[in-house]
Structure 1
Protein backbone atom coordinates (compact mmCIF):
# COMPACT_ATOMS: atom_id res chain seq x y z
CA UNK A 1 0.00 0.00 0.00
CA UNK A 2 1.09 3.67 -0.48
CA UNK A 3 0.57 6.33 2.17
CA UNK A 4 -0.01 10.06 1.66
CA UNK A 5 3.74 10.69 2.04
CA UNK A 6 4.53 8.37 -0.89
CA UNK A 7 6.06 5.62 1.26
CA UNK A 8 5.56 2.16 -0.24
CA UNK A 9 4.87 -0.77 2.07
CA UNK A 10 5.16 -4.52 1.72
CA UNK A 11 2.47 -6.48 3.59
CA UNK A 12 2.50 -9.88 5.23
CA UNK A 13 -0.30 -12.09 6.61
CA UNK A 14 0.39 -14.84 9.15
CA UNK A 15 -2.05 -17.48 10.44
CA UNK A 16 -1.59 -18.77 13.97
CA UNK A 17 -3.49 -20.92 16.45
CA UNK A 18 -5.74 -18.99 18.84
CA UNK A 19 -3.90 -18.13 22.03
CA UNK A 20 -0.51 -17.78 20.28
CA UNK A 21 -1.22 -14.38 18.70
CA UNK A 22 0.85 -12.40 21.21
CA UNK A 23 3.96 -14.54 20.65
CA UNK A 24 3.64 -14.32 16.86
CA UNK A 25 3.11 -10.56 16.98
CA UNK A 26 6.09 -9.96 19.28
CA UNK A 27 8.36 -12.08 17.04
CA UNK A 28 7.47 -10.18 13.85
CA UNK A 29 7.58 -6.73 15.48
CA UNK A 30 11.09 -7.58 16.68
CA UNK A 31 12.00 -8.23 13.03
CA UNK A 32 10.76 -4.77 12.00
CA UNK A 33 7.16 -5.49 10.95
CA UNK A 34 4.35 -3.11 12.00
CA UNK A 35 1.08 -4.70 13.25
CA UNK A 36 -1.93 -3.63 11.13
CA UNK A 37 -4.95 -5.81 11.93
CA UNK A 38 -6.17 -9.14 13.28
CA UNK A 39 -9.02 -11.40 12.13
CA UNK A 40 -10.25 -13.86 14.75
CA UNK A 41 -11.43 -17.30 13.58
CA UNK A 42 -12.83 -20.29 15.45
CA UNK A 43 -9.53 -22.18 15.54
CA UNK A 44 -7.04 -19.75 14.01
CA UNK A 45 -6.32 -16.05 13.88
CA UNK A 46 -4.91 -14.16 10.88
CA UNK A 47 -2.55 -11.25 11.66
CA UNK A 48 -1.59 -8.63 9.06
CA UNK A 49 1.70 -6.67 9.21
CA UNK A 50 3.51 -4.15 7.02
CA UNK A 51 6.87 -2.37 6.76
CA UNK A 52 8.41 0.27 4.45
CA UNK A 53 9.88 -1.10 1.23
CA UNK A 54 13.23 0.42 0.14
CA UNK A 55 13.26 1.84 -3.39
CA UNK A 56 15.79 0.68 -5.97
CA UNK A 57 18.23 3.48 -7.01
CA UNK A 58 17.49 3.20 -10.74
CA UNK A 59 19.07 6.60 -11.54
CA UNK A 60 22.47 5.50 -10.19
CA UNK A 61 22.24 2.15 -11.98
CA UNK A 62 21.27 3.86 -15.26
CA UNK A 63 24.12 6.37 -14.99
CA UNK A 64 26.68 3.61 -14.50
CA UNK A 65 25.36 1.68 -17.51
CA UNK A 66 25.34 4.81 -19.68
CA UNK A 67 28.92 5.65 -18.78
CA UNK A 68 30.05 2.16 -19.73
CA UNK A 69 28.26 2.39 -23.11
CA UNK A 70 29.89 5.79 -23.91
CA UNK A 71 33.36 4.44 -23.13
CA UNK A 72 32.84 1.44 -25.45
CA UNK A 73 31.54 3.64 -28.31
CA UNK A 74 34.48 6.07 -27.90
CA UNK A 75 36.94 3.21 -28.08
CA UNK A 76 35.42 1.88 -31.33
CA UNK A 77 35.50 5.33 -33.00
CA UNK A 78 39.15 5.91 -32.03
CA UNK A 79 40.14 2.50 -33.42
CA UNK A 80 38.42 3.19 -36.77
CA UNK A 81 39.98 6.62 -37.49
CA UNK A 82 43.27 6.74 -35.61
CA UNK A 83 45.19 3.67 -36.95
CA UNK A 84 47.41 1.51 -34.84
CA UNK A 85 48.98 4.41 -32.90
CA UNK A 86 45.61 5.94 -32.22
CA UNK A 87 44.37 2.57 -31.07
CA UNK A 88 47.13 2.47 -28.48
CA UNK A 89 46.30 6.02 -27.41
CA UNK A 90 42.63 5.21 -27.07
CA UNK A 91 43.42 2.11 -25.11
CA UNK A 92 45.56 4.20 -22.74
CA UNK A 93 42.65 6.61 -22.29
CA UNK A 94 40.22 3.84 -21.35
CA UNK A 95 39.84 2.84 -17.68
CA UNK A 96 41.89 -0.08 -16.48
CA UNK A 97 40.25 -3.52 -16.45
CA UNK A 98 39.79 -3.17 -12.72
CA UNK A 99 37.78 0.07 -13.02
CA UNK A 100 35.57 -1.37 -15.82
CA UNK A 101 34.77 -4.34 -13.61
CA UNK A 102 33.68 -1.99 -10.84
CA UNK A 103 31.25 -0.19 -13.17
CA UNK A 104 29.72 -3.49 -14.32
CA UNK A 105 29.36 -4.73 -10.76
CA UNK A 106 27.55 -1.56 -9.69
CA UNK A 107 25.22 -1.77 -12.68
CA UNK A 108 24.30 -5.42 -12.21
CA UNK A 109 24.15 -5.93 -8.47
CA UNK A 110 21.14 -4.69 -6.54
CA UNK A 111 21.80 -2.84 -3.25
CA UNK A 112 21.99 -5.22 -0.25
CA UNK A 113 19.03 -3.47 1.44
CA UNK A 114 16.57 -4.46 -1.32
CA UNK A 115 14.95 -7.73 -0.17
CA UNK A 116 11.81 -9.54 -1.21
CA UNK A 117 9.99 -11.40 1.61
CA UNK A 118 9.10 -15.02 0.98
CA UNK A 119 5.33 -14.34 1.37
CA UNK A 120 5.11 -11.53 -1.20
CA UNK A 121 2.30 -12.40 -3.62
CA UNK A 122 2.18 -9.21 -5.73
CA UNK A 123 4.18 -9.55 -9.01
CA UNK A 124 7.02 -7.04 -9.28
CA UNK A 125 8.64 -5.47 -12.34
CA UNK A 126 11.94 -5.10 -10.49
CA UNK A 127 14.87 -7.41 -11.35
CA UNK A 128 15.52 -10.42 -9.05
CA UNK A 129 16.86 -9.35 -5.65
CA UNK A 130 19.25 -11.21 -3.33
CA UNK A 131 17.88 -13.97 -1.09
CA UNK A 132 15.49 -12.58 1.58
CA UNK A 133 16.97 -11.78 4.96
CA UNK A 134 13.68 -12.45 6.81
CA UNK A 135 12.28 -15.97 6.61
CA UNK A 136 8.51 -16.26 6.57
CA UNK A 137 8.14 -19.46 8.50
CA UNK A 138 10.67 -21.41 10.50
CA UNK A 139 11.22 -24.66 8.57
CA UNK A 140 11.55 -26.84 11.63
CA UNK A 141 10.55 -26.70 15.25
CA UNK A 142 13.31 -26.06 17.78
CA UNK A 143 13.79 -28.00 20.98
CA UNK A 144 13.52 -24.74 22.91
CA UNK A 145 9.99 -24.18 21.56
CA UNK A 146 7.36 -25.81 23.74
CA UNK A 147 4.66 -25.68 21.04
CA UNK A 148 4.74 -27.61 17.75
CA UNK A 149 2.22 -26.80 14.99
CA UNK A 150 1.94 -30.01 12.96
CA UNK A 151 0.59 -28.13 9.91
CA UNK A 152 3.86 -26.18 9.68
CA UNK A 153 6.11 -29.13 10.58
CA UNK A 154 4.49 -31.85 8.47
CA UNK A 155 3.28 -33.79 11.50
CA UNK A 156 6.74 -34.06 13.10
CA UNK A 157 7.61 -32.84 16.60
CA UNK A 158 10.32 -33.34 19.19
CA UNK A 159 10.03 -35.09 22.55
CA UNK A 160 8.94 -32.62 25.22
CA UNK A 161 6.95 -30.44 22.81
CA UNK A 162 3.17 -29.99 22.78
CA UNK A 163 1.68 -30.62 19.35
CA UNK A 164 -1.35 -28.56 18.28
CA UNK A 165 -3.65 -31.01 16.50
CA UNK A 166 -6.57 -29.65 14.42
CA UNK A 167 -8.86 -31.61 12.14
CA UNK A 168 -12.47 -31.88 11.00
CA UNK A 169 -14.60 -35.02 11.01
CA UNK A 170 -17.09 -36.15 8.40
CA UNK A 171 -19.86 -34.91 10.67
CA UNK A 172 -18.43 -31.41 10.37
CA UNK A 173 -17.28 -31.28 14.01
CA UNK A 174 -13.94 -29.57 14.60
CA UNK A 175 -11.44 -31.40 16.80
CA UNK A 176 -8.68 -29.52 18.63
CA UNK A 177 -6.14 -31.33 20.82
CA UNK A 178 -2.87 -30.71 22.63
CA UNK A 179 -0.62 -33.80 22.47
CA UNK A 180 2.62 -34.06 24.47
CA UNK A 181 5.11 -36.96 24.50
CA UNK A 182 8.09 -36.81 26.87
CA UNK A 183 11.56 -38.30 26.37
CA UNK A 184 11.42 -42.15 26.47
CA UNK A 185 12.62 -43.83 29.66
CA UNK A 186 14.14 -47.28 30.20
CA UNK A 187 12.30 -49.61 32.56
CA UNK A 188 12.11 -53.24 33.63
CA UNK A 189 8.71 -54.87 33.08
CA UNK A 190 7.05 -56.41 36.14
CA UNK A 191 7.18 -60.10 36.88
CA UNK A 192 3.66 -60.64 35.54
CA UNK A 193 3.94 -58.16 32.64
CA UNK A 194 1.98 -58.97 29.50
CA UNK A 195 4.34 -58.58 26.51
CA UNK A 196 2.70 -59.10 23.10
CA UNK A 197 4.31 -61.90 21.13
CA UNK A 198 2.57 -61.17 17.83
CA UNK A 199 3.67 -58.08 15.88
CA UNK A 200 2.99 -56.79 12.38
CA UNK A 201 6.06 -58.75 11.31
CA UNK A 202 4.75 -62.02 12.76
CA UNK A 203 5.43 -63.92 15.99
CA UNK A 204 8.54 -62.58 17.72
CA UNK A 205 10.49 -63.52 20.82
CA UNK A 206 10.78 -60.93 23.59
CA UNK A 207 13.50 -58.35 22.96
CA UNK A 208 16.17 -57.07 25.36
CA UNK A 209 15.24 -53.35 25.42
CA UNK A 210 12.23 -51.75 27.13
CA UNK A 211 11.08 -48.12 26.94
CA UNK A 212 8.02 -46.24 28.10
CA UNK A 213 6.71 -42.92 26.73
CA UNK A 214 4.70 -40.51 28.89
CA UNK A 215 1.77 -39.34 26.74
CA UNK A 216 -0.60 -36.49 27.64
CA UNK A 217 -3.64 -35.53 25.55
CA UNK A 218 -5.89 -32.54 26.31
CA UNK A 219 -9.21 -32.14 24.50
CA UNK A 220 -9.75 -28.46 23.64
CA UNK A 221 -12.64 -29.16 21.24
CA UNK A 222 -15.90 -27.34 21.86
CA UNK A 223 -18.18 -30.36 21.32
CA UNK A 224 -16.14 -33.41 20.22
CA UNK A 225 -15.69 -36.27 22.70
CA UNK A 226 -12.44 -38.22 22.26
CA UNK A 227 -13.04 -41.92 22.93
CA UNK A 228 -10.49 -44.68 23.67
CA UNK A 229 -10.86 -46.10 20.16
CA UNK A 230 -10.05 -42.69 18.62
CA UNK A 231 -6.40 -42.83 19.77
CA UNK A 232 -3.75 -45.30 18.60
CA UNK A 233 -0.20 -45.32 20.01
CA UNK A 234 2.69 -46.82 18.00
CA UNK A 235 6.40 -47.00 18.87
CA UNK A 236 9.24 -47.97 16.58
CA UNK A 237 13.01 -47.60 16.19
CA UNK A 238 15.64 -47.32 13.50
CA UNK A 239 16.42 -51.05 13.75
CA UNK A 240 12.99 -52.55 14.49
CA UNK A 241 10.92 -50.30 12.23
CA UNK A 242 7.12 -50.54 12.50
CA UNK A 243 6.95 -54.33 12.51
CA UNK A 244 9.10 -55.81 15.27
CA UNK A 245 8.06 -53.87 18.40
CA UNK A 246 5.81 -55.29 21.12
CA UNK A 247 3.43 -53.52 23.50
CA UNK A 248 3.90 -54.04 27.25
CA UNK A 249 1.22 -54.05 29.98
CA UNK A 250 1.89 -54.24 33.73
CA UNK A 251 1.15 -52.30 36.92
CA UNK A 252 3.24 -49.29 35.73
CA UNK A 253 2.79 -49.06 31.94
CA UNK A 254 -0.18 -49.41 29.60
CA UNK A 255 -0.45 -51.12 26.22
CA UNK A 256 -3.37 -49.06 24.87
CA UNK A 257 -4.98 -45.64 25.31
CA UNK A 258 -8.10 -46.24 27.42
CA UNK A 259 -9.28 -42.74 28.42
CA UNK A 260 -12.47 -40.97 27.35
CA UNK A 261 -11.99 -37.19 27.13
CA UNK A 262 -14.90 -34.77 27.30
CA UNK A 263 -14.25 -31.19 26.04
CA UNK A 264 -11.75 -29.53 28.40
CA UNK A 265 -10.50 -32.80 29.93
CA UNK A 266 -6.97 -34.25 29.74
CA UNK A 267 -5.33 -37.59 30.59
CA UNK A 268 -1.78 -38.95 30.93
CA UNK A 269 -0.46 -42.51 30.67
CA UNK A 270 2.82 -44.41 30.31
CA UNK A 271 2.93 -46.32 27.03
CA UNK A 272 5.24 -49.34 27.38
CA UNK A 273 7.12 -51.05 24.52
CA UNK A 274 9.59 -53.89 24.07
CA UNK A 275 12.30 -53.64 21.36
CA UNK A 276 14.92 -55.90 19.82
CA UNK A 277 17.01 -52.71 19.46
CA UNK A 278 15.72 -49.36 20.74
CA UNK A 279 18.22 -47.12 18.90
CA UNK A 280 16.69 -43.84 17.63
CA UNK A 281 13.19 -44.51 18.96
CA UNK A 282 10.19 -42.62 17.56
CA UNK A 283 6.62 -42.49 18.85
CA UNK A 284 3.48 -41.91 16.80
CA UNK A 285 0.05 -40.77 18.03
CA UNK A 286 -2.74 -41.47 15.53
CA UNK A 287 -6.14 -39.81 15.84
CA UNK A 288 -9.29 -41.29 14.22
CA UNK A 289 -7.32 -44.04 12.43
CA UNK A 290 -7.12 -43.71 8.64
CA UNK A 291 -9.72 -40.94 8.71
CA UNK A 292 -7.52 -38.57 10.71
CA UNK A 293 -3.92 -37.45 10.99
CA UNK A 294 -0.96 -38.48 13.13
CA UNK A 295 1.87 -36.81 15.05
CA UNK A 296 5.36 -38.34 15.18
CA UNK A 297 7.74 -37.48 18.05
CA UNK A 298 11.50 -38.05 17.94
CA UNK A 299 14.84 -36.78 19.22
CA UNK A 300 16.29 -33.72 17.52
Structure 2
Protein backbone atom coordinates (compact mmCIF):
# COMPACT_ATOMS: atom_id res chain seq x y z
CA UNK A 1 0.00 0.00 0.00
CA UNK A 2 1.23 3.50 -0.75
CA UNK A 3 2.74 5.78 1.86
CA UNK A 4 -0.29 8.13 1.85
CA UNK A 5 -2.59 5.25 2.79
CA UNK A 6 -0.17 4.11 5.50
CA UNK A 7 -0.09 7.58 7.01
CA UNK A 8 -3.89 7.70 7.00
CA UNK A 9 -4.11 4.37 8.77
CA UNK A 10 -1.63 5.48 11.41
CA UNK A 11 -4.10 8.24 12.34
CA UNK A 12 -6.67 5.67 13.48
CA UNK A 13 -7.12 5.97 17.24
CA UNK A 14 -5.86 3.60 19.91
CA UNK A 15 -9.47 2.51 20.28
CA UNK A 16 -9.68 1.24 16.72
CA UNK A 17 -6.32 -0.44 17.04
CA UNK A 18 -7.26 -2.19 20.26
CA UNK A 19 -10.55 -3.40 18.86
CA UNK A 20 -8.78 -5.15 16.01
CA UNK A 21 -5.49 -6.27 17.48
CA UNK A 22 -7.20 -8.09 20.29
CA UNK A 23 -9.47 -9.88 17.74
CA UNK A 24 -11.41 -13.07 18.52
CA UNK A 25 -8.63 -14.76 20.50
CA UNK A 26 -9.68 -18.31 21.37
CA UNK A 27 -9.76 -18.31 25.17
CA UNK A 28 -10.73 -22.00 25.36
CA UNK A 29 -9.48 -25.14 23.59
CA UNK A 30 -11.32 -26.03 20.39
CA UNK A 31 -12.30 -29.38 21.92
CA UNK A 32 -14.82 -27.72 24.23
CA UNK A 33 -16.65 -25.99 21.37
CA UNK A 34 -20.41 -26.29 21.83
CA UNK A 35 -23.61 -24.74 20.59
CA UNK A 36 -23.14 -21.94 23.11
CA UNK A 37 -19.61 -21.15 21.95
CA UNK A 38 -20.70 -21.31 18.31
CA UNK A 39 -23.53 -18.88 19.01
CA UNK A 40 -21.14 -16.68 20.99
CA UNK A 41 -18.79 -16.51 17.98
CA UNK A 42 -21.70 -15.59 15.70
CA UNK A 43 -22.83 -12.83 18.07
CA UNK A 44 -19.25 -11.58 18.35
CA UNK A 45 -18.92 -11.24 14.59
CA UNK A 46 -22.31 -9.56 14.29
CA UNK A 47 -21.35 -7.15 17.07
CA UNK A 48 -18.11 -6.23 15.32
CA UNK A 49 -19.97 -5.68 12.04
CA UNK A 50 -22.52 -3.44 13.77
CA UNK A 51 -19.67 -1.52 15.39
CA UNK A 52 -18.08 -0.89 12.01
CA UNK A 53 -21.45 0.37 10.73
CA UNK A 54 -21.70 2.83 13.62
CA UNK A 55 -24.62 1.04 15.32
CA UNK A 56 -23.03 1.31 18.74
CA UNK A 57 -25.95 0.34 21.02
CA UNK A 58 -26.84 -2.73 18.95
CA UNK A 59 -23.18 -3.75 18.80
CA UNK A 60 -22.82 -3.53 22.58
CA UNK A 61 -25.87 -5.75 23.07
CA UNK A 62 -24.47 -8.43 20.73
CA UNK A 63 -21.03 -8.34 22.33
CA UNK A 64 -22.50 -8.54 25.83
CA UNK A 65 -24.58 -11.60 24.88
CA UNK A 66 -21.53 -13.21 23.27
CA UNK A 67 -19.45 -12.76 26.42
CA UNK A 68 -22.19 -14.18 28.66
CA UNK A 69 -22.33 -17.33 26.51
CA UNK A 70 -18.56 -17.81 26.20
CA UNK A 71 -16.34 -15.43 28.23
CA UNK A 72 -13.24 -14.32 26.33
CA UNK A 73 -10.68 -11.58 26.78
CA UNK A 74 -11.16 -10.33 23.22
CA UNK A 75 -14.94 -10.11 23.63
CA UNK A 76 -14.63 -8.24 26.92
CA UNK A 77 -12.14 -5.78 25.42
CA UNK A 78 -14.47 -5.11 22.49
CA UNK A 79 -17.45 -4.74 24.85
CA UNK A 80 -15.55 -2.28 27.05
CA UNK A 81 -14.51 -0.21 24.02
CA UNK A 82 -18.11 -0.31 22.75
CA UNK A 83 -19.48 0.94 26.08
CA UNK A 84 -16.85 3.69 26.10
CA UNK A 85 -18.13 4.87 22.71
CA UNK A 86 -21.68 4.64 24.06
CA UNK A 87 -20.77 6.96 26.94
CA UNK A 88 -21.11 4.32 29.68
CA UNK A 89 -17.87 5.30 31.35
CA UNK A 90 -18.20 3.31 34.58
CA UNK A 91 -19.21 0.13 32.77
CA UNK A 92 -16.31 0.45 30.31
CA UNK A 93 -13.84 1.06 33.15
CA UNK A 94 -15.02 -2.03 35.06
CA UNK A 95 -14.97 -4.15 31.88
CA UNK A 96 -11.40 -3.17 30.97
CA UNK A 97 -10.32 -4.22 34.47
CA UNK A 98 -12.26 -7.48 34.10
CA UNK A 99 -10.52 -8.10 30.76
CA UNK A 100 -7.16 -7.61 32.49
CA UNK A 101 -8.16 -10.15 35.14
CA UNK A 102 -9.31 -12.66 32.52
CA UNK A 103 -5.87 -12.64 30.88
CA UNK A 104 -4.62 -14.43 34.02
CA UNK A 105 -7.49 -16.93 34.05
CA UNK A 106 -8.16 -17.84 30.43
CA UNK A 107 -5.77 -19.25 27.87
CA UNK A 108 -4.89 -16.43 25.47
CA UNK A 109 -2.07 -15.47 23.14
CA UNK A 110 0.32 -12.84 24.51
CA UNK A 111 -1.52 -12.34 27.85
CA UNK A 112 0.94 -9.68 29.07
CA UNK A 113 0.26 -7.40 26.08
CA UNK A 114 -3.51 -7.84 26.43
CA UNK A 115 -3.40 -7.17 30.18
CA UNK A 116 -1.30 -4.03 29.67
CA UNK A 117 -3.73 -2.81 27.00
CA UNK A 118 -6.74 -3.38 29.25
CA UNK A 119 -5.18 -1.69 32.29
CA UNK A 120 -3.99 1.28 30.23
CA UNK A 121 -7.49 1.81 28.84
CA UNK A 122 -9.00 1.51 32.32
CA UNK A 123 -6.53 4.03 33.76
CA UNK A 124 -7.38 6.50 30.99
CA UNK A 125 -11.04 6.40 32.04
CA UNK A 126 -10.53 6.93 35.78
CA UNK A 127 -10.44 10.73 35.60
CA UNK A 128 -13.81 10.68 33.78
CA UNK A 129 -15.60 8.51 36.35
CA UNK A 130 -18.50 10.05 38.27
CA UNK A 131 -19.22 8.72 41.75
CA UNK A 132 -22.33 8.72 43.93
CA UNK A 133 -21.78 8.94 47.68
CA UNK A 134 -24.71 7.89 49.88
CA UNK A 135 -25.39 10.02 52.95
CA UNK A 136 -27.69 8.25 55.43
CA UNK A 137 -28.84 10.01 58.63
CA UNK A 138 -28.99 8.15 61.94
CA UNK A 139 -32.80 8.09 61.75
CA UNK A 140 -32.82 5.71 58.76
CA UNK A 141 -34.38 2.36 59.84
CA UNK A 142 -31.94 -0.52 60.33
CA UNK A 143 -33.72 -2.63 57.71
CA UNK A 144 -33.75 0.00 54.97
CA UNK A 145 -32.68 -1.14 51.50
CA UNK A 146 -31.39 1.12 48.73
CA UNK A 147 -32.00 0.27 45.06
CA UNK A 148 -30.33 1.80 42.00
CA UNK A 149 -32.43 1.35 38.85
CA UNK A 150 -34.13 -1.60 40.55
CA UNK A 151 -30.90 -3.31 41.65
CA UNK A 152 -30.13 -3.63 45.37
CA UNK A 153 -27.09 -1.72 46.61
CA UNK A 154 -25.43 -3.52 49.59
CA UNK A 155 -25.44 -1.40 52.71
CA UNK A 156 -21.73 -1.98 53.19
CA UNK A 157 -21.15 -0.03 49.95
CA UNK A 158 -23.02 3.08 51.10
CA UNK A 159 -19.94 4.60 52.69
CA UNK A 160 -17.86 4.10 49.54
CA UNK A 161 -17.86 6.25 46.38
CA UNK A 162 -19.87 4.28 43.81
CA UNK A 163 -18.90 4.74 40.13
CA UNK A 164 -22.01 5.03 37.96
CA UNK A 165 -22.71 5.54 34.26
CA UNK A 166 -23.89 9.00 33.09
CA UNK A 167 -27.59 9.61 32.61
CA UNK A 168 -30.70 9.72 34.76
CA UNK A 169 -30.60 7.13 37.54
CA UNK A 170 -33.50 6.17 39.77
CA UNK A 171 -32.89 5.56 43.47
CA UNK A 172 -35.38 3.99 45.91
CA UNK A 173 -35.23 3.52 49.67
CA UNK A 174 -37.44 0.72 51.03
CA UNK A 175 -38.09 -0.71 54.49
CA UNK A 176 -40.84 -2.89 55.93
CA UNK A 177 -43.40 -0.80 57.80
CA UNK A 178 -42.34 2.37 56.00
CA UNK A 179 -43.31 4.08 52.78
CA UNK A 180 -40.94 3.65 49.87
CA UNK A 181 -39.31 6.93 48.85
CA UNK A 182 -37.83 7.41 45.39
CA UNK A 183 -35.72 10.02 43.65
CA UNK A 184 -34.02 10.60 40.30
CA UNK A 185 -30.47 11.86 39.98
CA UNK A 186 -28.98 13.07 36.71
CA UNK A 187 -25.35 11.92 36.49
CA UNK A 188 -23.20 14.18 34.27
CA UNK A 189 -20.59 12.88 31.82
CA UNK A 190 -17.80 14.74 33.57
CA UNK A 191 -15.83 13.19 36.39
CA UNK A 192 -16.77 14.19 39.93
CA UNK A 193 -19.03 13.23 42.81
CA UNK A 194 -22.72 13.54 43.60
CA UNK A 195 -24.15 13.21 47.10
CA UNK A 196 -27.34 11.20 47.56
CA UNK A 197 -29.08 11.94 50.86
CA UNK A 198 -31.54 9.42 52.29
CA UNK A 199 -34.26 11.05 54.43
CA UNK A 200 -36.11 9.51 57.33
CA UNK A 201 -38.66 7.14 55.79
CA UNK A 202 -42.23 7.97 56.91
CA UNK A 203 -44.02 5.15 58.73
CA UNK A 204 -47.06 3.57 57.12
CA UNK A 205 -50.50 4.21 58.51
CA UNK A 206 -51.93 1.44 60.75
CA UNK A 207 -53.55 -1.27 58.63
CA UNK A 208 -51.53 -0.49 55.49
CA UNK A 209 -50.01 -3.47 53.71
CA UNK A 210 -46.31 -4.14 54.25
CA UNK A 211 -45.08 -4.18 50.67
CA UNK A 212 -41.52 -2.98 50.22
CA UNK A 213 -42.26 -2.29 46.54
CA UNK A 214 -45.17 0.07 47.23
CA UNK A 215 -43.95 3.48 46.14
CA UNK A 216 -45.01 6.74 47.61
CA UNK A 217 -43.02 9.93 47.46
CA UNK A 218 -43.72 12.76 49.92
CA UNK A 219 -44.16 16.25 48.52
CA UNK A 220 -40.82 17.90 47.75
CA UNK A 221 -39.52 20.17 50.48
CA UNK A 222 -38.46 23.43 48.86
CA UNK A 223 -37.38 21.48 45.79
CA UNK A 224 -36.21 23.64 42.94
CA UNK A 225 -38.04 23.46 39.63
CA UNK A 226 -34.92 24.31 37.65
CA UNK A 227 -33.89 21.97 34.86
CA UNK A 228 -31.49 19.16 35.87
CA UNK A 229 -27.89 20.22 36.36
CA UNK A 230 -28.68 23.82 35.32
CA UNK A 231 -27.61 26.36 37.96
CA UNK A 232 -30.57 28.45 39.09
CA UNK A 233 -30.79 31.78 37.25
CA UNK A 234 -28.30 30.78 34.55
CA UNK A 235 -29.44 30.64 30.94
CA UNK A 236 -29.01 27.22 29.27
CA UNK A 237 -27.70 29.10 26.19
CA UNK A 238 -24.46 29.72 28.05
CA UNK A 239 -23.85 25.98 27.99
CA UNK A 240 -24.02 25.81 24.17
CA UNK A 241 -20.24 25.99 23.51
CA UNK A 242 -19.61 23.08 25.85
CA UNK A 243 -22.52 21.04 24.45
CA UNK A 244 -21.40 21.73 20.88
CA UNK A 245 -17.80 20.79 21.67
CA UNK A 246 -18.81 17.61 23.47
CA UNK A 247 -21.11 16.65 20.58
CA UNK A 248 -18.33 17.18 18.03
CA UNK A 249 -15.93 15.16 20.15
CA UNK A 250 -18.27 12.18 20.63
CA UNK A 251 -19.49 12.23 17.03
CA UNK A 252 -16.02 12.67 15.55
CA UNK A 253 -14.49 9.95 17.72
CA UNK A 254 -17.29 7.53 16.83
CA UNK A 255 -17.03 8.16 13.08
CA UNK A 256 -13.24 8.07 13.24
CA UNK A 257 -13.21 4.74 15.05
CA UNK A 258 -15.76 3.18 12.69
CA UNK A 259 -13.95 4.27 9.52
CA UNK A 260 -10.60 3.38 11.06
CA UNK A 261 -11.87 -0.14 11.64
CA UNK A 262 -13.13 -0.26 8.07
CA UNK A 263 -9.81 0.98 6.68
CA UNK A 264 -7.85 -1.72 8.48
CA UNK A 265 -10.36 -4.38 7.46
CA UNK A 266 -10.14 -3.34 3.80
CA UNK A 267 -6.36 -3.28 4.01
CA UNK A 268 -6.38 -6.88 5.25
CA UNK A 269 -8.73 -7.88 2.42
CA UNK A 270 -6.49 -6.10 -0.07
CA UNK A 271 -3.45 -8.07 1.17
CA UNK A 272 -5.27 -11.28 0.26
CA UNK A 273 -5.67 -10.04 -3.33
CA UNK A 274 -2.03 -9.04 -3.77
CA UNK A 275 1.28 -10.88 -3.96
CA UNK A 276 4.84 -10.11 -4.97
CA UNK A 277 3.80 -9.93 -8.62
CA UNK A 278 1.18 -7.27 -8.02
CA UNK A 279 -2.51 -6.83 -7.18
CA UNK A 280 -5.65 -7.97 -8.90
CA UNK A 281 -8.33 -5.51 -9.94
CA UNK A 282 -10.28 -6.31 -6.78
CA UNK A 283 -7.16 -5.73 -4.69
CA UNK A 284 -6.57 -2.31 -6.23
CA UNK A 285 -10.21 -1.38 -5.61
CA UNK A 286 -9.95 -2.40 -1.97
CA UNK A 287 -6.73 -0.40 -1.65
CA UNK A 288 -8.50 2.74 -2.85
CA UNK A 289 -11.45 2.07 -0.53
CA UNK A 290 -9.07 1.58 2.40
CA UNK A 291 -7.31 4.86 1.58
CA UNK A 292 -10.63 6.72 1.43
CA UNK A 293 -11.79 5.23 4.74
CA UNK A 294 -8.48 6.18 6.36
CA UNK A 295 -8.86 9.79 5.16
CA UNK A 296 -12.40 9.97 6.55
CA UNK A 297 -11.15 8.52 9.86
CA UNK A 298 -8.36 11.09 10.07
CA UNK A 299 -10.69 14.02 9.34
CA UNK A 300 -13.22 12.72 11.87
CA UNK A 301 -10.59 12.56 14.60
CA UNK A 302 -9.49 16.10 13.74
CA UNK A 303 -13.11 17.21 14.22
CA UNK A 304 -13.20 15.32 17.52
CA UNK A 305 -10.03 17.10 18.60
CA UNK A 306 -11.54 20.47 17.71
CA UNK A 307 -14.63 19.61 19.72
CA UNK A 308 -12.56 18.57 22.72
CA UNK A 309 -10.60 21.83 22.49
CA UNK A 310 -13.80 23.90 22.37
CA UNK A 311 -15.28 22.11 25.38
CA UNK A 312 -12.02 22.40 27.35
CA UNK A 313 -11.64 26.12 26.62
CA UNK A 314 -15.24 26.70 27.73
CA UNK A 315 -14.57 24.87 31.00
CA UNK A 316 -11.43 26.92 31.67
CA UNK A 317 -13.03 30.32 30.98
CA UNK A 318 -13.84 32.30 34.16
CA UNK A 319 -17.53 32.60 34.97
CA UNK A 320 -19.61 34.56 37.42
CA UNK A 321 -20.55 32.62 40.51
CA UNK A 322 -23.86 30.84 40.01
CA UNK A 323 -26.46 29.81 42.51
CA UNK A 324 -26.28 26.24 43.92
CA UNK A 325 -27.08 23.47 41.48
CA UNK A 326 -30.60 22.11 41.59
CA UNK A 327 -31.47 18.60 40.54
CA UNK A 328 -34.83 17.33 39.34
CA UNK A 329 -35.19 15.51 42.64
CA UNK A 330 -34.46 18.63 44.64
CA UNK A 331 -31.45 19.47 46.76
CA UNK A 332 -31.88 19.34 50.54
CA UNK A 333 -29.59 20.92 53.06
CA UNK A 334 -26.88 23.59 53.02
CA UNK A 335 -24.25 21.32 51.43
CA UNK A 336 -25.89 21.52 48.01
CA UNK A 337 -23.69 24.40 46.95
CA UNK A 338 -20.50 22.45 47.74
CA UNK A 339 -21.24 19.37 45.65
CA UNK A 340 -23.68 18.13 43.08
CA UNK A 341 -26.30 16.51 45.28
CA UNK A 342 -29.71 14.90 45.10
CA UNK A 343 -32.21 14.11 47.78
CA UNK A 344 -35.21 11.86 48.05
TM-score by length of 2: 0.20
- Identify the structure with the greater helix proportion: 2
Larger Cα-atom Rg: 1
TM-score when scaled to structure 1?
0.23
Structure number with the bigger relative contact order (C-alpha 8 A, sep ≥ 6) is 2
